Structure 1
Amino acid sequence: MAPTLRGHAPDPGPAPIPAPSSLPRRSRSRVIAVAMAGCLAAGVLGVVGGGVAAAGPVGAGSYTETLPAGRLLPKGCGDIATNPRLFVTPDAPQGAVPTNDWWSSLLWKRNDCAYSEPLHAHPVSYDTFNNGIGLSYTNTARITGGATGVSEFKFDYTEDIRVGVTGMSAPVVKVADWTDWTVTPFWSDGQRTMKATIGHGMPFSHYQITGGNARITGSTVAPTVWSNSGSTIGFSIGTDNYVAYAPTGAAWNVSGGVITSDLGGRGYFSVAVLPDGADRQELAAEYGRYAHAHVTDTRMAYSFDESTSTVRTTYEFVTTPREGTETRTVASLYPHQWRNMVGGTPIAQTYASARGRMKNLVGTASFTTRMAFHGVLPEVPAVADSSGADRTTITNYLNAELADPAKFLGPDTYWTGKGLGRAARIAEIADQLDMTDVRDSALRVIKERLIDWFTASSGETGQLFYYDRNWGTLIGYPASYLSDEDLNDHHFHYGYFIAAAATLAKFDPEFASDSQYGGMVDVLIRDANSYDRQDERFPYLRDYDIYAGHDWASGLAPFGSGNNQESSSEGMNFANGLIQWGQATNNKAIRDAGIFIYTTQAQAIAEYWFDVHDENFPAEFGRESVGMVWGDGGAYATWFSADPEMIQGINMLPVTGGHLYFGDHPEYVTANYEDLLRNNFGKPTVWQDIIWNFLAAGDGERALREFRANPTFTSEEGESKAHTFHWIRNLAALGNTDNTVTANHPLARVFTKDGARTYVASNITAEALTVTFSDGTTLDVPAGKTATSGAFTWSGGNATGGKVVTPGPTPTGTPTPTATPTPTATPTPTPTEPPNPMSPTQYLLAGGALGGAAGTGGSVSVAAANGNHDGTPTNAQVFTATGLTGTYTGQATTFDLSVDSGTSIGNGVQARVSYDLTGDGVVDRVETYAYFATDPLVGWEHYRQTQGLRSSTGTLGDLAGGTVKVEVWNAIGNTDTSLGIGDRSTVTLPFTAS
């Protein structure tokens, strides 16, 4: 079903780690240098005996292949959790199954266990049914919403025709094949079969059938035939023109609005939709030359020329002639492709699509794009006021981070990643300013946390990585935003780990070696977007859509609107992480994969998230950007907030030296900011730092004025004032990026201000180097330094020399945050039922009681948050049991709460369990769990303790007439949530009856 934005289908879900009101919900769906070729295949370790798994084949690190207790696997129909090939035919490609694709709901079924959700291939969208496949070509957008708040444009799946086999009724549609950007669904009812090959950039769909005649019907109206000559028939549904091509000598018959053909007994045919404005007779004949060159494979190949800083990408359509010798086809190109195409002349007619106009090459086997890579930096160089008042300001900001540079907000992969990213920014800028104590504190935190995650162990948080051989995926636990159940957002989460590891590797190269933890970084890269086609343990480029030019966040795309992605900038954080890691470890395979993704995706973001040319968004949409790209359109929305600052800001964070692409179109940056002011009815009041950082890429002076006027703002959770000030102040001095000049070194960039250029390059090696720019300028860069030219002669950094960062105690430069005190003397509500006998399983019952026996199923309403109450029970539903006596087992509390927010988006349900062990009114143990972001689909969801502990205080012991209280409230969101009671929600206490 299609989500309704303004309360859209939350990307799957649940925001797993508690967060302040501004916390972004990630993923949105339901959201090599040290390569070790055999690190996964060689067998890996499980967590045994509750202790630390021994070091395995991944250097000093390890992951487990034993699913940790209580952790979740990908879920779906039937036994797909352990058999992801349940809906794959035996002759389909071997190796890990793809996920996170435009067609994923066909293979990974959940909402529809027989068929799929709409598949938005562009220019055609498809859907699967028992009797065939539906085709939809929508050339007019539907706009919803208004000038403020959530709005979206959608090129809806509106079926024109259905293609199938006469009499076919298949109980399930499986996947028979997939290539870089095509998929082949397969139907069989025991007597009839059909294969249909569909894909991105294909006006044609190709069919092979057995057991009956080809059959085409109109969905709501009969096709209007405008040409029927031998093996070719042209017909219209409304204003959409289609042509069906049977084998030579066969004929099409029309009866009662149904088009059929026996195909001359040869069992193959093709259907094409014609572009807008075409002379349909003429173009039907032209397309017909290629109708029987069935596309059977597609393949992308890229190369990076370091000397010219150019990425060349070739997209090849491999065909099998069903008759004749023609091997070429018709290819429809997205805007990011045709704007950068080398050679080739598209025809005049175009297709409308959710990504803008698609241009067509008729009679082609391949096409090539060429894009300039403009370079990245470890961080913006410190060039401004190195000894004046601003130096004092940045010094004070950095010193304030000495004791806690990461500020981890949760134990899961996402919030761990955010903290690692924060610490990496501090390390980079502190190094430039020779504040080695702050730098080393940040590096120490990064190293300690990475080693913890990179060593399979079980502790209070159980932070580890688990490899699932069935799915060919590496899942970090505690997971978040359904990175486990839906395989969402792996590139988002792991990108932070990889980028932080790259920063650490510059100062501690031993950490990145094969014998230490480099292999663990490599498997994270391979899981999210493997650069190695030969590695069957992971799908090739899992999260990256090769033809569309950008990532997808949802693992299974269970939406009528197809797949989606919110934070394009976090996708770029992953790509930049590959560049930085590959450069730090001298691994060009990883580096070049990162450069390919980065360069192509920067173009896609400019087109589809920002529409910098003002050509792709429908004119009536009236926005300068979208927060989310969907298969069928775009939405000015997020999964977690309707605030304009967050809708626009989610595609601006994190801010690193890899995000200078923000300034590729400086005039757009200011247009985006002005749009924010209009949408917000004034200046930003949350995420100001993120917004100003983005603004600085187009107008640094203006951003600096905004910062200076409001220095007491609250930093976004992954950002620090030290980094914000460093970024804005230095971009104000450097000016805008100059994309007319490139360099022969990946870590280089050119800026221009008042007509003067500044050349910047970073050298993270132990040898001096000379960087040559495309305008002939050269820049000498000492070992381990970032150098600048022109008015800025300062250079800084100490990133070489084999410095080893040793984990150790945290410095004490500033006070560490104090823990939340244990609540005491909490009044205990009087239950409406008498104290129940001790039973480990307690049911949430009507009237606010906990009971050892189930009651009649029902529900109570949990009031809307209408604000941020993460961690603080507000208008909670409270359930209490008293007089409990039991022996503590040493285990942990578990629970399974049934919750449903209907079709609302952005709700996050939270739970707290309190133990008064002796019933004396003093609370001995409090456990507050990370909130669970409900989806916008009607039906019960399960909120479990696997979301992870947000915080805990006190300790457990035996119960002696004790009291247990469960509080359930909405931490975020503006809508009430239903909570199941009676037999629908349970809490399992870690006690046995005494």
Structure 2
Amino acid sequence: MSRGPRTFRAFRAALVTVAALGVGALIAGCASPAGQGGSGGDAPATALGQPVLADEQTRPLADALPEAPGTEVSLDRLAEGLVPPTNSWFSGLVFGSEPQPVFPLPLSFGLVADGVAFGVPEVTSRPGAISAPHAPAVTLTAGTDSAVVTRYDEVSVTLALAAADEPTAEVTIARGSPVVSYTATAAHQLRLNAPVEAAPDAGEGVHTLQTPTATFALVAPEASVSDDGLVVELPEGATANWVAVPEGADVAELAALAASPITRVEVSASLAEDAATTALTYATADGSDTVTGRLPHQSEGASCELGSFLTAYGAMELCASAELEWSVPQLAPAGALALDDAQLTGDDRAELVAALEQDVAETPESPADTYFGGKALARLATMLQLARQLSTGDDATAGAAAGIATGLEERLTAELRTWTEPQGCEERAERCFTYDPRLRGIVGQEASFGSEEFNDHHFHYGYFLYAAGVLAGATGAGVGGGPASAEIDAELVDELRPVIDLLAADIASSGGEVFPAQRAFDPYSGHSWASGFSPFADGNNQESSSEAVSAANGLALWAEATGDDALADQAQWMLSAEAHSARSYWTAFDRAAEPYAGYERGTVGIVWDAKRDFGTWFSPEPSAIVGIQLLPMHPMAGYLAEGVEAERILDNIAEAAPGGAETATLFADSLLMYQSLAGPEQAEAALAAARELPAAKIDDGGSRAYTLAFIMSQR
């Protein structure tokens, strides 16, 4: 989390794909092309489908909400007409009084008073952190006094540099590109902080500059370079592109690939039987190939042989291609635990019903903010779904469970009706939503953890989406030809939909004028960013990988409830990507690979672009650092163990609580559920501990009944 200082209708057996148009593509009127192949099993992957929660659907819904008071934040570095890019990897360039460095990777990049600076960060590791801070090794000054973002998509961004409002140059950077594309929009002199040397063997107009971490090749065939190598004379329209060259790599090859400026990156995605594929196309001005970089979570696919750079994520291999494509295991959404007679005995059922009765009796009034209020709604939903599952049959236990389900359904319905009154904020100061027309998003009236600055929206709204989907009858069943979902309550869906659709659009719209494209989700990284404005020198960050996964799961359940196939497919793609990245960078990374040599932890608490911390925003407790990567342990949480050895799970738990999960200061219930994923024997041990767990150690978004049922489902 970037929490200031703190704390599908069923999926079809034959899969269709999701639309993933970037906001930059929408603004420029450039539709993303068909996706590149990714496949799984015998089912063919299909290209992207329809837009998701687009303007024509969401504008009247947003107009029906009261207007948010708005947050005072400067947008002086954003061109008029562009949707503010909150929760982006480059948000720090746009928001705030002073620009922050950003990390397109393998580069870092920042603005200086009269130009730009960039370099390849040096990565260091120590027991509790991995750092790769901004490296302004190459500074380009052109006498400019302003820099404005004039175009962006999910992966790339273009800035216009100007002097006294007169255009000077355009600079484009992109995630996964070692190239800084520099084009003169007017003739000018470009002054360097260190001299370049001619490299005639590398091609016409190629020079090199050695920095502590990389050689940079300057590719400027239409420019002239001063004898001392410190001034580049650029005529109007000329390019002076820079590319980072790894040690031992061929300067001439990389220079040739970097000759044409990157103009945009097109994103496409596809789903097959067991794979979710992301494809990025790095478009260049002349349509030629360029250099792209593949991170560890993108390792599936062709090998890359242009050398590599070490980043805070791990080694990045450079590829001679404008296409970057990879597939990850597809994760099915779930709103119900896999409980049947094979998992539950009669005694188990009786125990769970008794626990439900106690949990319901001890349920307090729900909080009024969107984070803790959302968690409270999701807690009711998990208990409701469990009670529904236990109500089958004709014995006394089933009858008691049915009664509990009725009560929970009534309470959850009443609370969601309150939250989803479009004009609720005209009548009260809490439990309601507004629309911010300046920053283009939905904001809860009672702010929490900087939600008015768009921090953590996917964490908060994921809980609402999950609760609404479960209440309406969605279970996530039907994926891959499984049994159909429960009957959907269409009347209830219609009642909740105007506001819940807006929460979904806030984090998953394919973009337009009302909302940005997939506000927080970074398709290159495969995970979301949590800070709205990213006012940090280390780039953007995300703390709770598990709540990001849960948000995508909630999206899928709501899509099932509403029969929105396009949203369902997009949610499944995002869900699969988030889960894969969570394992790759938070909970199950390869400890034998760099940069983990000096990092002595098995988990990461906060992933930044420029560092990775064993810490949280809200507590130094190890159980908090590990536990925040687990909660809320909704029914799809088995992804945490997918392809992960049981020993690693147990090591992570020991790191959180050396005396056992049940001794954890925070999130003991989540740690016990996590323990149950290590195998049947561990599940039995976790079940015994969960039965004795003090009520104070059960998270406010959890319940003893759900904890016991989750563990029982793993035996």
Provide the TM-score with structure 1 as the length reference.
0.61
Conservation of the 8 A alpha-carbon contact between 2:184 and 2:235: no
- Structure 2 distance, partners of 1:212, 1:38, is 43
1:924 aligned partner: none
What displacement does 1:684 show? Answer: 2.0
How far did residue 707 of structure 1 move?
Answer: 4.2
How far, CA to CA, are the matches of 1:724 and 1:44 in structure 2? 37
Aligned residues of 1:312 and 1:370 also touching (Cα < 8 A): yes
Matched, 1:182 2:169: no
Q: How many residues align?
A: 639
User: Contact 2:653–2:660 (CA<8 Å) still a contact in 1?
Assistant: no
Write the letter of the residue equivalent to 1:454. Answer: T
Aligned twin of 1:522 = 501
Task: Identify the residue that residue 121 of structure 2 maps to in structure 1.
Answer: 138
**What's the counterpart of residue 435 of structure 2?**
467
- 2:315 equivalent among 341, 357, 361: 357
Larger Rg: 1
- Deviation digits for residues 503-560 of structure 1 (CA, Å, limit 9, x no counterpart): 011166134544x222322111111221x34x42100110101211100000011001
CA distance in 1, matches of 2:451, 2:466: 19
The 1-side partners of 2:660 and 2:114 are apart by 49
**Aligned letter for 2:92?**
S
CA contact (8 A) 2:281 2:324 kept: yes
- Correspondences of 1:742-891 after superposition (within 5 Å): none
* d(CA) in 2 for partners of 1:605, 1:156: 22
1:377-419 CA-partner distances (Å, limit 9, x unpaired): 32222245634433332121011133465x4552001111000
More strand by share: 1
* 8 Å CA contact 2:170, 2:185 repeated in 1: no
Q: 1:608-640 CA deviation, whole Å, 9 max, x = no partner?
A: 112432225421011101111011021000000
SS in 2 for 1:187: strand
Query: What corresponds to 1:227 in structure 2?
Result: 199
CA contact (8 A) 2:462 2:554 kept: yes
1:269 aligns with 2:240: yes
Structure 2 residue identity aligned to 1:63? L
Matched, 1:638 2:597: no
Rounded Cα–Cα distance in structure 2 between residues aligned with 1:236 and 1:414: 48
* Inter-CA distance 12–511: structure 2 relative to 1 (3 Å threshold): farther
Q: Does 1:647 align with 2:625?
A: yes
Cα–Cα, structure 1 residues 178 and 212, in superposed 2: closer, same or farther, change >3 Å? Answer: same
- Equivalent residue of 2:170, what SS? strand
Q: Give the partner amino acid of 2:418.
A: D
Report Cα offsets for 1:346-397 as digits up to 9, x if no partner: 11511111111111211x2213222331423322222456344333321210
Secondary structure at the residue paired with 2:240?
strand
Is 1:493 the counterpart of 2:460? The answer is: yes
Match of 2:677 in 1: 697
1-side partners of 2:639 and 2:6: how far apart? 31
Corresponding residue number in structure 1 for 2:181:
206
Provide the rounded CA distance (Å) in 2 between the counterparts of 1:374 and 1:43.
31
Distance 1:120 1:163, change over 3 A: same
Paired with 1:264 and 1:700, the residues of 2 have a C-alpha distance of 70
Quick check: 1:335 aligned with 2:296? yes
Distance 1:678 1:227, change over 3 A: farther
Alignment of 1:430-829 (within 5 A): 430-434=387-391, 435-455=401-421, 456-457=423-424, 458-459=426-427, 461-484=429-452, 486-506=453-473, 509-514=489-494, 516-530=495-509, 532-533=510-511, 535-614=512-591, 615-664=593-642, 665-667=644-646, 668-678=648-658, 683-709=663-689, 711-713=692-694, 714=696, 715-731=698-714, 733=715
CA contact (8 A) 2:77 2:148 kept: yes
CA distance in structure 1 between the partners assigned to 2:681 and 2:357 by the alignment: 25
**Contact 1:296–1:319, Cα closer than 8 Å, also in 2:** yes
Contact 1:421 1:499 in 2 (8 A): yes
Q: Which residue of 1 aligns with 2:72?
A: 75
Give the secondary-structure state (helix, strand or coil) at the position aligned to 1:410: coil
Cα separation, 1, equivalents of 2:430 and 2:57: 22
Which residue among 381, 400, 409 is the counterpart of 2:338?
381
Letter of the structure 2 residue corresponding to residue 101 of structure 1: S
Aligned to 1:367: 324
Q: What is the aligned counterpart of 1:420 among 355, 364, 377?
A: 377
Structure 2 partner of 1:879: none
Which residue identity does 1:106 align to in structure 2?
Answer: L
The answer as to 2:263 corresponding to 1:296 is: yes
- Equivalent AA in structure 1 for residue 634 of structure 2: T
- Contact in 2 for aligned 1:103/1:119 (Cα 8 Å): yes
What is the distance in 2 between the residues matched to 1:37 and 1:292? 38
- Partners of 1:453 and 1:683 in 2: how far apart? 36
Shift of 1:675: 2.8
Q: Conserved in 2, the CA contact under 8 Å of 1:39 and 1:519?
A: no
User: Does the 8 A contact of 2:125 with 2:597 survive in 1?
Assistant: no
- Which amino acid is the alignment partner of residue 361 of structure 1? C
Query: Is the 1:163–1:214 contact (alpha carbons within 8 Å) kept by the matching residues of 2?
Result: no
Q: Which has the higher helix share?
A: 2
Checking the alignment, whether the CA contact within 8 Å between 2:369 and 2:430 is kept in structure 1 is: no
Deviations 1:673-702, CA, capped at 9 Å, x for gaps: 233345999942432111111111223432
Question: How has the CA–CA distance of structure 1 residues 504 and 193 changed in structure 2, closer, same or farther, with 3 Å as cutoff?
Answer: same
Contact 1:34-1:519 at 8 Å conserved across structures: no
Alpha-carbon distance in structure 1 between the residues aligned to 2:244 and 2:53: 45
Residues 844-884 of structure 1: CA deviation (Å, up to 9, x unaligned): xxxxxxxxxxxxxxxxxxxxxxxxxxxxxxxxxxxxxxxxx
Structure 1 pair 13/75, CA: closer, same or farther in 2 (3 Å)? Answer: farther
Deviation (angstroms), 1:269: 1.4
Output the amino acid matched with 1:421. A
Distance 1:607 1:254, change over 3 A: farther
Q: Secondary structure at the match of 1:414?
A: helix
Return closer, same or farther for 1:334/1:679 CA change in 2, 3 Å cut-off. farther
Q: CA deviation at 1:260?
A: 1.9
**Alpha carbons 2:6, 2:617 under 8 Å: kept:** no
TM-score normalised per structure 2: 0.84
CA distance in 1, matches of 2:79, 2:54: 32
In the alignment, is the contact (CA less than 8 A) between 1:408 and 1:416 conserved in 2? Answer: no
- The answer (yes or no) to whether the contact 1:233–1:252 under 8 Å persists in 2 is no
- State the secondary structure of the residue aligned to 1:518: helix
Partner AA of 1:469 in structure 2:
P
Question: Aligned residue for 2:396?
Answer: none
Amino acid across the alignment from 1:639:
W
CA shift at 1:226, angstroms? 7.4
Which letter does structure 2 place at the counterpart of 1:439?
A
Q: Secondary structure of 2:263's partner? A: strand
Q: CA deviation at 1:425?
A: 0.7
The unaligned stretches of length 5 or more in structure 1 are: 1-8, 16-31, 46-61, 78-83, 734-994
Task: Check the 8 A contact 1:131/1:164 in 2, yes or no.
Answer: yes
Which secondary structure state, in structure 2, belongs to the residue aligned with residue 120 of structure 1?
Answer: coil
Correspondences of 1:900-979 after superposition (within 5 Å): none
- Deviations along 1:900-948, one digit per CA (max 9) or x if unpaired, are xxxxxxxxxxxxxxxxxxxxxxxxxxxxxxxxxxxxxxxxxxxxxxxxx
1:361 partner SS = strand
Q: Quickly say closer, same or farther: Cα 1:139–1:354, change in 2 above 3 A.
A: same
Contact 2:171/2:182 (8 A) holds in 1: yes
Provide structure 2 residue ranges, at least 5 long, that are not aligned to the other structure. 8-49, 392-400, 474-486
**Corresponding residue number in structure 1 for 2:26:** none
After superposition, the C-alpha distances for 1:190-246 in whole angstroms (9 at most, x for unaligned) are 25622210110111111122555453534xxx4574736651101202342111010
The aligned amino acid for 1:125 is: S
Could you give the per-residue CA deviations for residues 233-289 of structure 1, whole angstroms, max 9, x where no partner exists?
A: 0120234211101025x442352xx522213554321001112x324xxx2111222
